[in-house]
């Protein structure tokens, strides 16, 4: 089954910006273990609990992880991310592994004008080392290029975040450059490494 048939209603949502957020439904089956589901408000309690369980793990590399997230914080995040889907500027999904919420991955930024999407992600600290993010990122790269017709996919990571940088490197992305001290984390500036994949180079 192709990714196009696994994505429920996405094209309709993009075309119908006035769609009610309560009616949106999306699921991408990556493989037998991994599924991506839309950031719907009904998952707010699970997302909030998982985020706070991982807050110390995420804090070094996620600027928003400088404090525990309240349920209201999570609901506001879900509202903003769902709005990006309706407006066609993002694809916000949470990541489920063997039926359990495991993290977040999606396109935090998209541009139809530039034919571009960026993939962002984080994973539960207890599930590291199983190739979960790599598999999901591969699926989202394929979807962006072969189904949405985008020309380029990027992954950005702080220079010292070796775990995040390993994902695009495994997938054959090209390191395109370093933007010096463009990320501010925990009171310090960090270089940002940009990885890119062009449609003509991608081999699903």
The answer on pLDDT for 139 being more than 70 is yes
User: What number is the average pLDDT over the span 61-90?
Assistant: 93
Q: List pLDDT tens digits, range 17-54.
A: 344 333 445 688 999 999 999 988 999 999 999 999 99
Q: How far is CA 141 from the centre of its chain?
A: 11
Query: Which segments within 52-151 are labelled E, that is strand?
Result: 91-97, 100-111, 116-123
pLDDT reported for residue 25: 53
Q: How many helices (H) and strands (E) does the chain have?
A: 7, 8
Place 186 in a pLDDT band, splitting at 50, 70 and 90: confident
Q: List pLDDT tens digits, range 112-134.
A: 999 999 999 999 999 999 999 99
Task: Name the pTM for this structure.
Answer: 0.86
Least confidently predicted of 8-12, 47-51, 98-102, 159-163: 8-12
The answer on pLDDT for 72 being more than 70 is yes
Residue identified by tokens 């495991």 is 102
User: What number is the average pLDDT over the span 75-81?
Assistant: 93
% helix, strand, coil for the chain, step of 5: 40, 30, 30
The answer on pLDDT for 2 being more than 60 is no
pLDDT reported for residue 28: 86
Residue 104 near residue 121 (C-beta atoms within 8 A): yes
How large is the C-alpha radius of gyration of the chain? 16
**Rounded mean pLDDT of the chain?**
88
Q: In what order do the strands lie in the sheet with 27-29?
A: 27-29, 34-38, 91-97, 100-111, 116-123, 152-158, 188-198, 174-185
Tell me if residue 195 falls in helix, strand or coil.
Answer: strand
Place 8 in a pLDDT band, splitting at 50, 70 and 90: very low
- Specify the DSSP class assigned to residue 139: H
Neighbouring CB atoms inside 10 A of 66's CB total: 12
């Amino acid at each position: 089954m192709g990714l196009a048939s696994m994505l429920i209603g996405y094209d309709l949502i993009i075309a119908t910006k006035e769609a009610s957020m309560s009616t949106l439904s999306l699921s991408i089956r990556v493989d037998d273990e991994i599924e991506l589901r839309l950031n719907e408000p009904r998952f707010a309690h699970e997302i909030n609990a998982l985020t706070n369980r991982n807050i110390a793990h995420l804090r070094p590399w996620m600027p928003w992880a400088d404090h525990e997230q309240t349920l209201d914080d999570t609901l506001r995040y879900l509202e903003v991310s769902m709005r990006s889907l309706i407006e066609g500027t993002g694809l916000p999904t949470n990541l489920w592994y063997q039926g359990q919420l495991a993290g977040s991955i999606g396109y935090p930024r998209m541009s139809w004008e530039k034919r571009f999407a960026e993939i962002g992600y984080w994973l539960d600290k207890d599930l590291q080392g199983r190739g979960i993010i790599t598999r999901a990122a591969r699926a989202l790269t394929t979807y962006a290029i072969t189904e949405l017709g985008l020309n380029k996919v990027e992954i950005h990571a702080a220079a010292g975040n070796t775990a995040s940088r390993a994902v695009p490197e495994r997938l054959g992305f090209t390191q395109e450059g370093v933007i010096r001290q463009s990320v501010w984390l925990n009171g310090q500036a960090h270089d940002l490494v940009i990885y890119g994949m062009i449609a003509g180079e991608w081999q699903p």
